[in-house]
Structure formats: C-alpha cells, structure tokens
Amino acid sequence: MEKFNFITAKNKSDLVRFYPIMKELRPELSYADYLNIYEEAHAKDGYEIVGVESGSHIFAVMGYRVLVDYVHGRHLYIDDLVSTAAQRSKGYGAKLLAYAEEVSKELGCKSLRLCTGIDNEKGQKFYEREGWELKSLVYKKKLTPSQ
C-alpha cells in the first residue's frame, strides 16, 4: 500500500471528490441527494465523511456519526464504508475501520457499530476478519406516503 492520508470532508470540493466512491456503494444516489443528505446529517447528527487519499486519488470513503441510545450507550456508527472497485482488498477499508476506532476513543465512545446487507457475504467476512462480531439482525419497513 502506498503512503496515504485521511481527509475529512470540510468543504464542497472535498465532497465532490468523495462522491464517485460513495456512488459505488449507493448507485442510486444522485449528486444533489448526496449533497442534501450530507448537509442535513452533518447538521443534525454530526455525520462526517472521511476519505483515504494517496497522491491525488481517493481510494475509499467512510461516513460515520456518534449515536447514544440505551442499548449501546455512546457509540460510533458507521453508515457507509466503500473502497473503489479497483482498490478493493488492498487494505483501505481496514485502515478506515482502524481510523474509526481511534476517532471513537477520542470521542468517548464505548463501542462501534455498523450494519451490512444480509446478502453481502464478502463484506461480512471482511468485518469478521477485522475483529467485528455479528450481534443482531436489522429489520426495516418502508412507509408509504400518506394520501
């Protein structure tokens, strides 16, 4: 792995650079929605996006926020984690998870948490290799708009 830096999105030009990588994880995400969701989540929940940069290229991004609830206490929740297709399995995801662990300690969190799709077997194996344990299943129900 080449020399790399972590860059936290601080302005629109950072977000522009991170968008193509985020879109690999969320292909349905339009650029306008990406910016709007970031702005709202950042303002309301302190959501941050951090990227792994080597040279002038961004190879991976992670979105996270600190949450507090009765089950997990204060914890860092990873919403998004993706490496570019060309850079997968080169250690960038692991570097981002290690970065998240350091940030969570600095922010006084008790643990880290994330969710992945039940059909994402490669992702599940990756998280388990990185020392994460499968602890729960997540249920989701879409709401239909009121008429």
98 phi and psi, to 5 degrees?
-65, -40
Rounded distance, CA 123 to CA 60, Å? 14
Residue 21 has pLDDT above 90, yes or no: yes
- Count CB-CB contacts under 10 A for residue 130: 12
Q: In what order do the strands lie in the sheet with 57-69?
A: 5-8, 48-54, 57-69, 73-83, 111-114
Residue 73 has pLDDT above 90, yes or no: yes
- Class of domain 5-129 (CATH, top level): alpha beta
Q: Where do the structural domains in the chain lie, given as residue ranges?
A: 5-129
Report field, pTM of the whole predicted structure over 0.75: yes
- The predicted pLDDT at position 7 comes to 95
What are the tens digits of pLDDT across the range 81-128? 999 988 888 889 999 999 999 999 999 999 999 999 999 999 999 999
